[in-house]
Structure formats: structure tokens, C-alpha cells
Amino acid sequence: MIAHGRLSVYAPYGRYQLMVDRLEPVGVGALQAAFEALKDKLRAEGLFDSERKRALPRLPRRVAVVTSATGAVIRDVINVATRRYPRADILLIPSGVQGKEAGRSIVRGLRRASSLAEELQLDVVIVARGGGSLEDLWGYNLESVARAIAACSLPVVSAIGHESDFTIADFVADVRAPTPSAAAEIVFPEARVLRLALQRDVERTHRALKRMTDYERQRLSAARHRLGDAKGALREWSQSIEHVRSRIDASMRASITKRRAQLAASERALGAGHPRVRLVAAREAFARARKQAETAWVAGLTQRRHRLRELGVTLRALSPLAVLERGYAIALDAQGDALRRGSEVELGSTVKVRLHEGSITAQVVDRDGDDSAMS
């Protein structure tokens, strides 16, 4: 422990006294306290919950192992996998397992496994190392490693140290194995057991098929027996069917003959009303109606043209412009209204005089009827 406080001296006896106000753990005690604190924190976040644990595949295609490339762990995993599951395909992702950089190296290994999962068809990740002291295993007690395991896209099997060793990684992982060899036994099924299970399934299927075949054979035998009893009835049915068929044929022939006679009569009756005959008559009626309509239209157009000319003559006779052609003029005030009396204009004002062709502007100098008053 590390004690913090103040030192005093008891003068009568010359003794030193330490007044402690704070104690801090050191060494293994400090690590254990940090371990428990992080464990409580991650448990409260739900990273240890069984509901988030993922199941391991029954027949893994390829397994990634995040561990040291030179340690005994990878050899143990390979030996167990080869013995149990000859088809085992293992991808080693080297990482540090001890020291200050171990945590960052383990995190990189887990992230690399996630990034290669789809490309290399990875199914499981094993994070493993051999036994050691609490200080040796401390890289697997880091929060960054725990969160990398939780974020990994593949199921993670932890195998850290010996059976009695527990790390934060063990609590977060989907499956905890007591040793690296045990992790390999958990991940890789035993081929012999698989063959026995497959053989049992084949035998069970064979027995089920045999029972089904025997049952169907019994049903077929019973059906054949019933069929033998029905042969006589079948012959009688055949004779009855033949008799009925003969009657149906005769009835159908008579019905066809009758229908043909009716069809011939209908054809003769429809001859006069054939669509072609009706179409010719309709075309002739249409031509006559069209000619009558054209004649009436031309007569009406001629009558309207004649009336239009008469109206034009009348309009021309009544138009003021016709008066202008005879030498008369029309005086207009500033607003363009025709002047009828001299009193309607003021002396000195201007008026516009409309002639047959063109117009002039004049100034009023007299309005008593003097012919020389306008200039």
C-alpha cells in the first residue's frame, strides 16, 4: 500500500508519528482493483449479458486465431484441429500477447478478422495465449480489447491462460474456453463423431424408408385384391358404356342432320339480308342524300350571296362616305365628334375637316356662316 499523510514528532520521547489520510493499493492489488472496476462498468453496460452471446457454427469453414505467431498456442490449436477435424482451415493473425503494446496489437488483430470475414469466409475468431501472472495477462483486461471483442462481426472464443485464470476478455467473449486446446476442441467438431452421427441419420432414414415401403406394398397388395373382385363388374360397366355410346352416336348424327337443314334454311333466309346487299342499298341512299344536301347547300349559298350584295348596296347608299364622294365634308371637334352647329365651337379653336380623300385642320375665325371665315 502507498500511504499519504503528514509526519510529526512527539518531542518528549523523540518519536515520529505518521498521520495517514489516504491509502492506495500498489502492484497486484492495484491491478486487481482496476480489474474489478472495469468488470463492474462493462457488466452495467450489458457487455456480459447472455442475450448478446452468439452461437458457434456447427461446421466452421475457416477459423481465425489471434495470438503470437511463435508461441505454443498456435501449434496446440493446429494439432487439436488436425486431429479432430482434418478439413480445418486456420488463419493466423499474429498479435502481441504480453507487454505495453499487447492491447493495441490484440485490437488490431480483432479488427483485421472482422474486415476479412466476408472475403475469406471466416466463421469464428479464437483469441488465445498461454498462462501467466496477472501482469502477463493484463493486455486482455484492457477496456479497448473488451470493446473490440464486443464489436467483432464474428463470434469470439476466448482462451486466455489456464483454467483458473479469468480476464475481462473471457466475460465479453461469446464463448470462454479454459485453455487454447480446449478452444480448438469447442470450435472444431470431431470428425469421428460427425461420421457416427451421419451414419445414425442414414440408418434412421433407411429404416423410415423401409417402413414406408412395406406400408405401401401392403396397400398395393390390398388394392390388387380388390381389383380382382372388380373385374366382373368392370366388364358389365364396359358393356353398359358401349351401349350408351351407341345411343349417343345415333342421337348426335340425327341432331347434326337436323342442324344442317336448319342452317341451310337460315342461309337462304339471310341471303336477301346479306350485309353486302344492305351495304349497296345504303350506299345508294347515302349518294342520293348527299346530292340533295349539296344542291340545297349551293342554293342557300347563292341566295345568301345575293342578299349580301343587296345589303352592301344599301350600306353604301347610307354611308357618310358616299356623301363625301359628292364633294361634301365633315367637320370634327377635338374629340372626333361631328359638328352640326356653329355654336358648338369656339372662335380660335381648331377643327378637323374630313374630305373624301384625306383631311385638313382649320382654325375657326368666324361662326356666323361667313364662307371665308375658315383657313
Give me the mean pLDDT over the 134-141 stretch.
87
Query: Which position has the higher pLDDT, 183 or 23?
Result: 183
Q: Which amino acid is at 341?
A: R
Q: Which residue has the cell 472482422?
A: 114
Assign 3 a pLDDT band (cuts: 50, 70, 90).
low
Residue 141 has pLDDT above 60, yes or no: yes
DSSP 8-state secondary structure symbol assigned to residue 139: G
Three-state DSSP string of 242-294: HHHHHHHHHHHHHHHHHHHHHHHHHHHHHHCCCHHHHHHHHHHHHHHHHHHHH
Question: Which H/E stretch holds residue 176?
Answer: strand 175-176
Strands (E), 25-108: 63-67, 90-94
Under CATH, which architecture does the 53-189 domain have? 3-Layer(aba) Sandwich (3.40)
Q: How does residue 270 score in pLDDT terms, banded at 50, 70 and 90?
A: low
pLDDT for 300: 87
Cell 491462460 locates to: 161
DSSP line for 19-81: EEEEEE--THHHHHHHHHHHHHHHHHHTTT-GGGPPPPPSS-S-EEEEE-SSSHHHHHHHHHH
Sketch the domain layout of the chain as residue ranges: 1-45, 53-189, 322-363
Q: What is the pLDDT of residues 74-111, one digit of tens each?
A: 999 999 998 998 888 899 999 999 888 999 999 999 99
